Structure 1
């Protein structure tokens, strides 16, 4: 298992919408994430800064990277682009975080 953490950002005033959209995560997106080796995926919000912290556990880095090029993933990025910082291709602006401590 590989642990990953990322930082993203939701637009001010769009936190509730971000949460709402994830509460209704598309079943085929969830299936795709599992198919590409996602064991678990959690996202937290810092309400003071609008930063999102994502924590993932994946099986294989190369397989996980390929998930970005799936049609359902691109559709999700397009769907989320109006409420968060994105790149030109609508992928979320994402910063990989460096792990400095793990108790387990």
Structure 2
């Protein structure tokens, strides 16, 4: 699972932002199910930043959000991200020079349909 939180940061606040983003990334990285993460900045618009993390599953990500250090260091920062979808499931991937491998969605086929139970 991929999580992308995008931010618009004024140049005068960039130093404080990166310190807080590093602390948030460290707190998230310490949680079970975390695979990798990075803090990125747009080359075209230097005020645009993105905190990208990858997780084993949606469950490990959601459990990570409940951890004390994540609530202290990551949640306040994530609350400042742009109000847009941030969690994405991987439906296809390819290694360098590799074949495209697809995966089924974890989403219900029709979330509004009644259960068959």
**TM-score using structure 1 length:** 0.58
Q: Which residue of structure 1 aligns with residue 86 of structure 2?
A: 96
CA distance in 1: counterparts of 2:28 and 2:14, whole angstroms: 25
The structure with higher relative contact order (CA 8 Å, sep 6+) is: 1
CA RMSD of aligned residues (A): 3.4
Greater gyration radius: 2
1:44 and 2:34 aligned = no
CA distance in 1: counterparts of 2:27 and 2:69, whole angstroms: 10
- Unaligned segments of structure 1, at least 5 residues: 87-91
- Unaligned segments of structure 2, at least 5 residues: 96-117
**TM-score using structure 2 length:** 0.53
Q: How many residues align?
A: 90
Q: Which residue of structure 1 aligns with residue 14 of structure 2?
A: 15
